[in-house]
Structure 1
Amino acid sequence: MTVEQSQAPAGGPLIPLHCLRHAEPGPPRLAALPTGTPVWVVTRHADVRQALTDPRLDRASLYAPGAPPVTVIPNILDAPDTLLNIDGPEHQALRRTVQRAFTPRAIERWRPWVASVVEDLIDGLAASGSPADVVAAFSRPLPVQVICRLMGLDHNELTKLADWSEHALSATAYTAEEIQQAMQEFGAFGYQLVLERRKNPGDDLVSSLVLAADETGGASEIQLTMLVIGLVLAGHETTMTTLGNAIVYLLDEDREAWARIGADQEAAVQATEQALRTIPLGDNLTGPGLLRRANADLEIGGVTIPAGSIVAADAGTANHDPEVYPPGIDLFAPLGTPSLTFGAGPHHCLGAWLARMELELGLHGLARRFPELRLTEPTTDISWRTGLMTRSPLSLQVAW
């Protein structure tokens, strides 16, 4: 099975994600997950931030015995051994094992690597000639090639890693059996990679993780394996999705911004932050937000949430809260309050700074080399990757 190409429920085409109308943020409201499980949806910026930082809301209890079902077809986000789904001291110990490799200073050392991948892909796009598919030539391979280089992997692994990543974050695109098979293959790959790097360490991210785990005793072999898998996923999906959707927005609606991003790298930095805030990763068709479960009674936004309740933090709506951000998209406006795209609190995305760097260098490099880049089809004709936790162009024909 392949990733579904999108058709709107009414038979018409889906609209680009930057065109979605967000609900007006308000008090927590009761809704239902696709499984039928009741869920409290929080949408205001302050409420979403509380939901992601309050220790009375956690991830581990979502998968405790007797917990109500939260996904129709489980994917990698439901695996109990991942960094995402453990809390408290165990989570802190495991996170300490890896977080020093993901500080802004540490990631800045990788800038030349990332820049070289960007330039190589742009050279290939230029050599292929106009027109071309910018997704196939640039936005899809960029994050996979970066993570392969950082992890010291052979380029022969690119296709498998991309395929495993799509299965790992599937909502409806693949069957439970297909997801399980892909995750077994992905897990075996990650486990063998950890063993190999322990035996023959190198100057790569996996070797650094293994060394840190051995020094601190903060991670088991299974947890290290899941960390490797999680880093591939985090380094792949957010970057590819945001980059593809940002290109759609810029080439369709903001040509002046495209020119400015190409001429000024600092402008690309600002545009990256605003694109991450204003262009959502998905359209919430597979779920209303980042899930947590209450381990005690608590109050959010003036509403009492009983212990045992499921809470969904709708970061996409919170990122457009008019009490915090002005309306519309201004890619070069200062971002006074951090967005919630990468979460907040203990489970804030470790790879956030790497994703930012890839997006900044990718957008700047592409706009600099192709200032006249244009879409060759209306956005209503775009084929979309659907059935996953995110949505982005399946292909995007451009010319220059």
Structure 2
Amino acid sequence: MTTTEPKIFPANELDRLEPDPLFAELRADAPLSRIQLPYGEPGWLATRYEDIKVVLGDRRFSRAEATGRDEPRVRPLISAPGNILSVDPPEHSRLRRLVLKAFTARRMAELRPEVTGIAERLVDGMIERGAPSDLVADFALPLPITVICEMLGVPFEDRTDFRLWSDAFLSTTRFTPEEVALYSQRMRDYIAELVAQRRVQPQDDMLSDLVQARDEHDRLSEDELISMGQTILVAGHETTASQIPNFVYILLHHPDQLAQLRADPDLLPRAVEELMRFTPLGAAVGTARYATEDIEVGGVLVRAGEPVMAAVASGNRDESIFPDADVLDLRRSGAHHVGFGHGPHHCLGAPLARMELQVALQTLLERLPGLRIVDEESGIDWKTGMSTRGPERLLVTWDQP
């Protein structure tokens, strides 16, 4: 690898949901730059939209090549071999097809009334208890957790345990490396126990479908089955649970855009896409992909065997792609954001997340007139030591009838 001294990254304490100022500097002066993350070997960081799409979409960049390497990362845990997030096509395509039917547009349309009912009941509880309410604990977390539990076949009453394990999985500094390893194994053991139960008593859920694919059709290994269950459980609620309070926070700080959305509910799907673009969910950068041959990215030659990471939050603020990129515009059209990734590893659950976010915002805005934050300082606790950003407590109030 080149001897250029890598930048230590992340280099800044991130302010709430403001974009990391380092990204704008890198897009302008060093769109592909050498960095050193807290764990693993040095690597390259792509910060421009088009370069990010190359890294995420070009088959000459491989996730599977990270296996056995000390890949650059912000957390101690290394992705296990066989996990859908750490393999390439055709293995990745094989695993993805096993659960793809659960996330089709048709299935989301069928599921939407049920999700709406869950959201309505959660708001009923908020209204019954009265303001103030913690939007995270009372709404943002239980909504996607309830949905993914029902889809996957995980008991909702176990949510306290798997939320702890999920937090450890996504930890950068909140948990020690030993705790991360311990809780990761506990989650794995938990999924393995549920798999064993489904072998005895199949249910109408995704875990039962995966067990059948394993036992009757030999379409995945036991390790792949358990890893798939872990991944769906974590990813199936974490993004939405973080983005609901993030989106509410951002809308409340852009009252002109919020007024447009209230006046025109048909704007909701486009609004969710713009909020996905605008909101920097990740606290650092994505997983490394290794070049399988020499390839030029952003005018820089990346040698075979070198890792490259994509700063999705930076790509979504690329001024050459999104005019006035730092302006929230719920009527924005044009290039599509990369908030759900790009290429073979484009987020499998994106249709579910989109639908849940639309339902969540619609329900909150319709049912809680005058929704607002109780206090900017005492009413918000921001996540620290995690790979995702956002409030972990957000006290809100609304106009009482």
The alignment's TM-score, normalised by the length of structure 2, stands at: 0.89
* 1:319–1:341 CA contact under 8 A, matched in 2: yes
> Structure 2 CA distance, aligned partners of 1:112 and 1:213?
32
Q: Which secondary structure state, in structure 2, belongs to the residue aligned with residue 227 of structure 1?
A: helix
Q: Which secondary structure state, in structure 2, belongs to the residue aligned with residue 222 of structure 1?
A: helix
* 2:44–2:308 CA contact under 8 A, matched in 1: yes
Residue aligning to 1:326: 323
* 1:262–1:363 CA contact under 8 A, matched in 2: no
Equivalent residue for 2:72, pick from 70, 73, 84? 70
Q: Structure 1 367/173 Cα, relative in aligned 2: closer, same or farther at 3 Å?
A: same
Q: How many residues align?
A: 384
Which shifted more, 34-43 or 127-136? 34-43
Q: Which secondary structure state, in structure 2, belongs to the residue aligned with residue 35 of structure 1?
A: coil
Q: Please state if 1:308 is matched with 2:330.
A: no
> Structure 1 CA distance, aligned partners of 2:143 and 2:337?
24
> Structure 2 CA distance, aligned partners of 1:315 and 1:376?
32
Post-superposition CA distance 1:276-323 (Å, at most 9, x none): 111011332xxx433211121111122110111110111111111111
Q: Which secondary structure state, in structure 1, belongs to the residue aligned with residue 44 of structure 2?
A: strand
How big is the shift at 1:73? Answer: 4.5
Post-superposition CA distance 1:178-216 (Å, at most 9, x none): 112211211111112223223322222322333445565
Q: Please state if 1:293 is matched with 2:294.
A: no
Q: Which secondary structure state, in structure 2, belongs to the residue aligned with residue 398 of structure 1?
A: strand
Residue aligning to 1:96: 97
Post-superposition CA distance 1:191-249 (Å, at most 9, x none): 12223223322222322333445565321122111111101111121111111111111
Amino acid in structure 2 at the alignment position of 1:337: A
Q: Which secondary structure state, in structure 2, belongs to the residue aligned with residue 326 of structure 1?
A: coil
> Structure 2 CA distance, aligned partners of 1:169 and 1:398?
26
Residue aligning to 1:182: 183
Residue aligning to 2:381: 383
> Structure 1 CA distance, aligned partners of 2:340 and 2:390?
17
> Structure 2 CA distance, aligned partners of 1:43 and 1:399?
38
Amino acid in structure 2 at the alignment position of 1:30: R
> Structure 2 CA distance, aligned partners of 1:176 and 1:109?
41
> Structure 1 CA distance, aligned partners of 2:53 and 2:261?
30
Amino acid in structure 1 at the alignment position of 2:293: A
How big is the shift at 1:18? Answer: 4.2
Residue aligning to 2:206: 205
Q: Which secondary structure state, in structure 2, belongs to the residue aligned with residue 322 of structure 1?
A: coil
How big is the shift at 1:53? Answer: 1.0
Q: Please state if 1:254 is matched with 2:258.
A: no
Which shifted more, 207-216 or 348-357? 207-216
Q: Which runs of 5+ in 2 are unaligned?
A: 1-10
Percent identity for Structure 1 against Structure 2: 38
> Structure 2 CA distance, aligned partners of 1:334 and 1:72?
32
Which shifted more, 216-225 or 49-58? 216-225
Q: Which secondary structure state, in structure 1, belongs to the residue aligned with residue 24 of structure 2?
A: coil
Amino acid in structure 1 at the alignment position of 2:311: D
Matches within 5 A, 1:31-50: 31-35=35-39, 37-50=41-54
Q: Which secondary structure state, in structure 1, belongs to the residue aligned with residue 383 of structure 2?
A: strand
> Structure 2 CA distance, aligned partners of 1:256 and 1:188?
49
How big is the shift at 1:123? Answer: 0.9
> Structure 1 CA distance, aligned partners of 2:185 and 2:231?
14
How big is the shift at 1:264? Answer: 4.6
> Structure 2 CA distance, aligned partners of 1:310 and 1:144?
34
Equivalent residue for 1:341, pick from 339, 342, 358? 339
Residue aligning to 1:114: 115
Q: Structure 1 257/368 Cα, relative in aligned 2: closer, same or farther at 3 Å?
A: farther
Matches within 5 A, 1:164-179: 164-179=165-180
> Structure 2 CA distance, aligned partners of 1:196 and 1:23?
50
* 1:375–1:396 CA contact under 8 A, matched in 2: yes
Residue aligning to 1:277: 277
* 2:133–2:397 CA contact under 8 A, matched in 1: yes
* 1:30–1:41 CA contact under 8 A, matched in 2: yes
How big is the shift at 1:256? Answer: 4.0
Residue aligning to 2:156: 155
Q: Which runs of 5+ in 1 are unaligned?
A: 1-8
Q: Please state if 1:368 is matched with 2:366.
A: yes
Q: Which secondary structure state, in structure 1, belongs to the residue aligned with residue 90 of structure 2?
A: helix
* 1:97–1:213 CA contact under 8 A, matched in 2: no
The alignment's TM-score, normalised by the length of structure 1, stands at: 0.89
